[in-house]
Amino acid sequence: MVHSLSLVVLALVFLLATILPINMGILAFVGTFLVGTVSGVTVDDMVAGFPGDVFILVVGITLLFGAAKVNGTIDLVVAASLRLVRGRRWAIVWLMFVLAAVLMALGSVLAVGMLAPIAMPIAARYRINPLLMGMMLSHGALSAAFAPITVYGVFASSLVGEAALDVSPFVLFAVPFGLNVGIAAVLFAVLGRDLLRGSEVVTAGGPGAAGADTFAHRPVAALPQIEVTPLRVLTLLGMCGLLVAGSLGVDVGLVAFAIATALLLVAPTLHEKSTDHVAWSAVLLVCGMLSYMEVLERNGTLDVLGEAAAALGSPLLAALLLCLAVGVVSAFGSSIGTLGIALPLALPLLELGGLGAAGFIVALCFCSTVVDVSPFSTNGIIVLAQAQVDDRRAFQRRMLAYSGLVVVGAPLLAWAAVVLPTSL
């Protein structure tokens, strides 16, 4: 009875958060209290399941990036990077991929949101296919989704650690990165071949403007100049210091808090709105889901789910079906929520033998995030909103068509390229 209730509440949390504008984490916290009470889990144990380390990490990192956004450091980095490519259209596309990856790897879950308002107008100005630019942004960010200090990386590592699985953090990061780079390369080969022919293109009036088909030499450096100030240099040094601290094993969340606080003290008025950029929705979602997973672990529901997954028969076939299911569900819902359900299902399949633990876990992680190119996801919505196109509905249909290919093709790719070779 308790196990059935736990699964029903979990399904309701996921369903309600998908069809209503309510953060899944809020619903998960309520579910934690309700299911925990029915299951006989004490309030102290429920509270003990709250991932305080994750809270500190996500808030600290996003607060630091909020300060960097408010004081213009992010714009400075983007402008300097654009000047380096000197208006080469193909290089602009890959530059945005790299910038999105770097921002995500440093912990900014809002990497696409930061870059899309810059990248999509540039796509219109330089006659770059907007679908190509938007998807390259998304794949760039998603390629670094499982870096050690990202929300996804911390969440997956927490679940893997609780299950005592031997999955290297490097492998957890590197495999999704490589697969996303491969997808981006294919996407560029299909939609970006024309960018290799002309070096620089200017469309003074945006999409559909007169003269849009003419080629001219005007480097991206013609963009508004972003001044190098002592505060921006200090912010860059702080971000570099965060990387050094992380490599030395120092708590990244606390270091990020310290650096962000120093910036706020140096210029409190300028940084007043830094907290507006803290990813509170991501904090709620991750902490709520991890708390609920703790209750399901304590009342034995995760063990029941695992036994059900094991009953599917062939481990390889079950792994493929689970990868496909994760891709479909995550395309319309929360990646972290989907991953929180999928990883416990993977455990009994691994116990049956015949599957490589690292390969299967990493494949599930990849499948849960790569579908965030969907216009139903946060990344997809931002790209759609920022696209400078004449027919937004037509552009949305193109995004949907591409998303459909990813939802079906990415799990097959992950199974064939990662699960199968590590299971033989």
Which contiguous run of DSSP H or E holds residue 119? helix 111-125
pLDDT tier at 312 (50, 70, 90 boundaries)? Answer: low
- Above 60 in pLDDT, residue 218? no
At 26 the pLDDT is: 92
pLDDT at 266: 93
* CA–CA dist 366, 374 (Å, integer): 15
Backbone angles phi, psi at 201, to 5 degrees: -135, 140
Confidence at 212, pLDDT banded by 50, 70, 90: very low
Does 115 have pLDDT greater than 50?
Answer: yes
Please give the average per-residue pLDDT across 331-358, as a whole number: 81
Helix (H/G/I), strand (E/B), else coil: 210: coil
Burial of 417: CB neighbours in 10 Å, binned 0-12, 13-18, 19+? middle
Mean pLDDT of the chain: 84
Q: What mean pLDDT comes out for the span 46-72?
A: 86
Q: Which residue has the higher pLDDT, 180 or 107?
A: 180
Q: What is the pTM of this model?
A: 0.78
Segment 359-408, tens digit of pLDDT: 999 999 999 999 999 887 778 888 888 888 888 888 988 998 999 999 99
- Say if CB 136 and CB 97 are below 8 A apart: yes
Q: Is 215 helix (H, G, I), strand (E, B) or coil?
A: strand
Rounded Cα distance between 336 and 282, Å, is 9
Give residues with Cβ within 8 angstroms of 112, minimum separation 6.
100, 137, 138, 141, 378, 379, 382, 383
Q: Which of 122-136, 160-174, 355-369 has the lowest mean pLDDT?
A: 160-174
The string of pLDDT tens digits covering residues 179-210 is: 999 999 999 999 998 888 755 544 433 333 33
> What is the C-alpha separation between 117 and 113, in angstroms, rounded?
7
Q: What number is the average pLDDT over the span 13-23?
A: 83
What was the pLDDT predicted at 58?
Answer: 80
Q: What is the pLDDT of residues 66-77, one digit of tens each?
A: 898 899 998 888
Higher local confidence (pLDDT), 315 or 97? 97
Cβ burial 164-182 (10 Å sphere, 16+ → b, else e): ebebeeebbbebbbebbee
Q: In angstroms, how far is the first alpha carbon of the chain from the final one? A: 39
Give the percent of the chain with pLDDT over 90. Answer: 33
For helices 130-143 and 378-386, angle between their N-to-C axes, nearest 10 degrees:
150
pLDDT, residue 145, reads 93
Considering only 3-12, 168-177, 357-366, which range has the smallest mean pLDDT? 3-12
pLDDT band at 311 (very low <50, low <70, confident <90, very high): confident
pLDDT at 330: 86
- Above 90 in pLDDT, residue 99? yes
Give just the sign of the alpha carbon dihedral 377, 379, 380, 382.
positive
pLDDT of amino acid 334? 77
> Torsions phi, psi of 259, nearest 5?
-65, -45
**For residue range 275-309, what is the model confidence (pLDDT) as tens digits?**
888 878 878 887 888 888 888 888 888 777 767 76
Q: Tell which residue, 254, 263, 345, has the closest CA to residue 301.
A: 345
